[in-house]
Structure 1
Amino acid sequence: MNSFDLTEFAPALPPIEGDTRARLLEAGLRLFAAHGYDGVSTRQLASTAGVNIAAIGYHFGGKKELYHAVVEHQVAETSPIIGPVAAGVAAGIEACGNDRQALAQIVTSFVGGMLDAFTRNESMQLRAALIMREYAHPTDAFEILFAGRIEPLHKTITALVAAALDRTVDDPLAIVRAHAVIGQILIFMLARIVLFARLDWKSYGPDELQMVKNEVTQSVLMSLNLPLPQSDGE
């Protein structure tokens, strides 16, 4: 079965250290994710980075340019991962032929990899918060995120959906169904506080995450009319 390691979508956050530019990028990620572009001042950025406020203008030109650089940095971190994953999905689909059980295994592995990445740590939570702010209130930096990170991943999932539903990758139904699949995964990161409160969980431990994987995978497979994994007793 194909295995898709997407955990590098959430590389661990380094401490705010190193050269001035790197410190400002890390401070920018934390502050823009938490407060949005308009909620952050250049003074806050400089203070969090531990640098002189003039360094923002020197290295980036201003707050807007620093924000763009933060977004571009997020894309640059994950772009080397998206290509191989997309190629792996395409190769897996081709190898499956008409074997729907094999396609179901690819979908299962991919969904598990996504959930591993999106529930992993503070790093992904911050990055997701930044992206969600662009979804809700897009700036001119949205196109950077869309072209470099969002669209390639969306197209990869659409390819899986199209193969399962025997449709083309540009079929509106395939694209909408792919969007629904993404939603089923993201909700367990974005609204995790609701689930934790309902179940008195503190975090996603191994058992909790496995339960989530089982339920989401079953839901996705059913939405794609793919066979469910057989239990040990079958």
Structure 2
Amino acid sequence: MAKKYSVNLENDELISVEVDGITYGSPYEISDSADRAKILAMVESQGAHDNTLEELGIDDDIFDMTMDRPSLETTSSDVDVSIVPKVVGSIFLGVSVLLLSLAAYTGLRTREAIAHEVTTTGKVVDVVTRKDKEGDAFSYPTVTFWLPDDQQHTTELGGGSTQSPYEVGEQVTIAYDPANPDDARIKSVSSTIGLWFLPVHLGFMGTLFGGGTLLALWLIKTDFGNSSKS
């Protein structure tokens, strides 16, 4: 439906204007630029004069520029959302560096411990079975072996297994810390793998975190680049 415009004059002086029944004392009170332009054209065609701005000492052109200037609004789309994956990525990369550092530290400690071990022949003198909180049974062998000072040392080994691979009276090779003979193990492939489990696990997790984070950041960067081009 078309809008209705009217101009009210008295002695060639503009008294008021109307836009769809809404009365304004001056065309410059109209916020809509299209309506304001329409009214100003009508006023000019009728030879009327609006001295409202002249009385205030304001130039018409300046007022028109001000009224026509689009308003600036801040919306959520103006926020740089690309910073979010960067922050999250930095956190995950920090976790990756921490895990890799722990892997390197525990790996060095494990290598030093193995290098300082002393090996000797021992004998399994007992096998103790214990159950954990879940009710699973684990066997812990007790071994005896001779120290360099000809003293016999007996200790129960940690790291129980669900099935006892050793029998009482069986001779085994013992690897132990000379500074702490209780820190001993039956030398085997499985026990050596057990020593390296923690550093390898930490290294794997650190690599997984770091590689996954870098891949995700690359994919996000590629997606943002394609979106900006489109």
Fold shared by both chains (TM-score > 0.5) = no
Higher relative contact order (CA 8 A, sep 6+): 1
TM-score category (smaller protein): under 0.3
Flag the structure with higher helix content: 1
Query: What TM-score, normalized by structure 2, do the two folds share?
Result: 0.26
Flag the structure with higher strand content: 2
Query: What TM-score, normalized by structure 1, do the two folds share?
Result: 0.26
